[in-house]
């Protein structure tokens, strides 16, 4: 039940005012706002650490922003920010703080910060040993390949960052990431790798995650197949809060890096979960990543709400989700090295905000989060951008771009930027029937052909987007970018009164999977579940048996 004094957000005066305001604004055009206000970009953009945030191409006015900020104030955003940084139990269902900000703090004032810096020193020492060749495999050869075995936050974060920081990759080491319990994922990754020079990082907070342990055991079998007397401690390290389980697996206690309960999986890349990042780039690069995130933390913690990038990002999302009933958001990085960023944000956003009850356990009557998806530009322009431009959906988009490129191909990079800016402009501007007809006439089409073809070339426009610019995709800029989205998610959760740091929805599937595994493994015909599940299991059984028979032969 609700706590005394708790008010559902949709009953607040700010929410009610926004509902009325949306009705007034819904027939406006973003392009008209620009025509009527030469200072619109200046008034609807801000400079945050490492990033320029342009939110001028949104269906908003100054009144909209004022009302959204009032909504944030009525929801207690200021106090909520303070509470998270103080280490209050903002994860109420698990009775834990959410102190991922401590992972990138340069200070050593709290017990958590002291633990973090002790672990960073341990990571630094380990990385130095691997990269200089002091740490060797069982046969005395230096490590050349690191395979991170994890799933969810133990995979998506470090994999995304490693890809993003490709220009900074180590010349000595290659990193690989295995997450799927599908055996093909590990087998294909191991192809052409040498067991003598391969190191596995087993990343699992509880050291009980099924997918991770299945892959870890398969990795152990692969190594033992090369030499039965292999010293596995030379080839396995772990990141876990359960050192006893890691030791039982066969990992030396000195090679276990800690993870704490106050670090959520999807917020953990800043911890020892980021070990592959440091190994695959450098410890300096990893520290710069932390530094960039900390700079955004300070911006979020200290900036007024109207100049606070994560706050404004969150309020814009809420504006479309709940007042325009938009249920999706596109993440469009015009930086190829950020091609995994949309997938990373899917977990961050959808696992955090995919809730149907408030922190008090009451039914949530408004939209909590949207469907997050996207892909690297310019690839998306040749697939789903057609729907963005001429589909009936409103899909707010975040364009992410870098002013410079790590390559020497400056002309190509200018084409990339031109495409990025053109897409956001086209989404806003569109093309009217009159403009389409004039364009066709200029091209020499007949009047009858113009009448037939022009309607197909109309683009409604008035589609909202933000653009986030950085000078270059450096480790510190990436850290700031990721942290801005982390805090944006938290702000949304506070306004809606939900817990962004638990994920009970993933548990049911895990529970059912254990039962179904037993049924699939049994020789008996399955009749224990619904008709569909029974039929699927019974379809699979003889085919599994036949495949196993062929393998034995």
CA 187 from chain center: how many Å?
26
Sign of the Cα torsion 151, 156, 157, 162 reads positive
Residue 91's closest CA among 266, 225, 211, 297? 266
Task: Output helix, strand, coil percentages for the chain, rounded to the nearest 5.
Answer: 55, 10, 30
The burial class, CB within 10 Å (0-12 / 13-18 / 19+), for 236 is buried
Q: What are the backbone dihedrals phi and psi of residue 330, each rounded to the nearest 5 degrees, phi first?
A: -100, 135
Q: Let me know how long the chain is.
A: 553
| Two tokens, residue 39 | 């200072």
Pairing of strands 51-54, 45-48: antiparallel
Active site residue ranges: 351, 382, 510
Strands of the 45-48 sheet, one edge to the other:
45-48, 51-54, 465-470, 397-402, 328-333, 371-374
CA 553 from chain center: how many Å?
45
Sign of the Cα torsion 9, 12, 16, 18 reads negative
| Cross-strand partners of 149 | 178, 202
Residue 500's closest CA among 353, 372, 371? 353
Looking at 414-472, which runs of residues are DSSP E strands?
Answer: 465-470
Q: Rounded distance, CA 166 to CA 245, Å?
A: 34
């Amino acid at each position: 039940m609700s706590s005394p004094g708790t008010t559902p957000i949709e009953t607040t005066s700010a929410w009610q005012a926004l509902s009325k305001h949306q009705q007034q604004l819904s027939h406006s055009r973003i392009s008209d706002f620009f025509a009527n206000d030469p200072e619109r970009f200046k008034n609807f953009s801000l400079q945050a650490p490492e990033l320029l945030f342009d939110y001028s191409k949104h269906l908003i006015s100054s009144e909209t922003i004022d009302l959204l900020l009032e909504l944030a104030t009525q929801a207690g955003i200021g106090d909520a920010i303070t509470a998270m940084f103080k280490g209050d139990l903002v994860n109420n269902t698990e009775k834990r703080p959410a102190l991922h900000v401590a992972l990138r703090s340069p200070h050593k004032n709290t017990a958590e910060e002291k633990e973090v810096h002790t672990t960073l020193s341990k990571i630094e020492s380990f990385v130095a040993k691997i990269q200089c060749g002091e740490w060797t495999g069982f046969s005395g050869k230096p490590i050349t390949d690191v395979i991170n075995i994890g799933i969810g936050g133990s995979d998506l974060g470090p994999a995304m960052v490693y890809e993003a920081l490709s220009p900074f990759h180590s010349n000595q080491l290659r990193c690989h990431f295995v997450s799927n319990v599908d055996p093909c994922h590990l087998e294909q990754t191991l192809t052409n790798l040498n067991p003598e020079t391969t190191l596995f990082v087993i990343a699992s907070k509880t050291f009980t995650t099924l997918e991770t342990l299945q892959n870890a055991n398969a990795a152990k079998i692969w190594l033992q197949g090369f030499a039965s007397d292999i010293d596995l401690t030379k080839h396995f390290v772990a990141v876990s809060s359960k050192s006893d389980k890691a030791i039982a697996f066969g990992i030396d206690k000195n090679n276990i890096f800690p993870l704490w309960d106050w670090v959520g999986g999807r917020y953990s890349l800043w911890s020892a979960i980021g070990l592959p990042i440091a190994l695959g780039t450098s410890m300096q690069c990893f520290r710069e990543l932390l530094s960039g995130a900390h700079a955004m933390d300070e911006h979020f913690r200290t900036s007024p709400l109207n100049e606070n990038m994560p706050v404004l990002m969150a309020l814009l999302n809420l504006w479309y989700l709940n007042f325009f009933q938009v249920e999706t958001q596109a993440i469009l990085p015009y930086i190829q090295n950020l091609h995994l960023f949309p997938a990373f944000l899917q977990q961050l956003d959808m696992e955090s905000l995919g809730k149907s009850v408030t922190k008090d356990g009451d039914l949530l009557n408004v939209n909590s989060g949207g469907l997050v998806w996207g892909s690297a530009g310019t690839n998306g322009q040749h697939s789903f951008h057609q729907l963005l431009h001429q589909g009936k959906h409103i899909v707010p988009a975040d364009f992410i771009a870098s002013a410079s490129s790590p390559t020497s191909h400056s002309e190509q990079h200018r084409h990339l930027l031109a495409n990025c800016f053109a897409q956001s402009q086209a989404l806003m501007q569109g093309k009217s029937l009159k403009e389409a007809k004039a364009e066709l006439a200029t091209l020499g089409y007949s009047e009858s052909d113009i009448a037939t073809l022009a309607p197909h070339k109309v683009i409604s426009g008035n589609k909202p987007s933000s653009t986030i610019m950085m000078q270059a995709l450096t480790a510190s800029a990436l850290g700031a970018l990721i942290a801005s989205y982390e805090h944006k998610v938290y702000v949304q959760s506070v306004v809606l009164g939900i817990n962004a740091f638990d994920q009970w929805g993933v548990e049911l599937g895990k529970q059912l999977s254990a039962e179904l595994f037993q049924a699939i493994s049994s020789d008996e015909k399955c009749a224990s579940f619904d008709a569909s599940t029974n039929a699927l299991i019974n379809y699979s059984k003889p085919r599994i048996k036949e495949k196993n028979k062929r393998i034995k032969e």
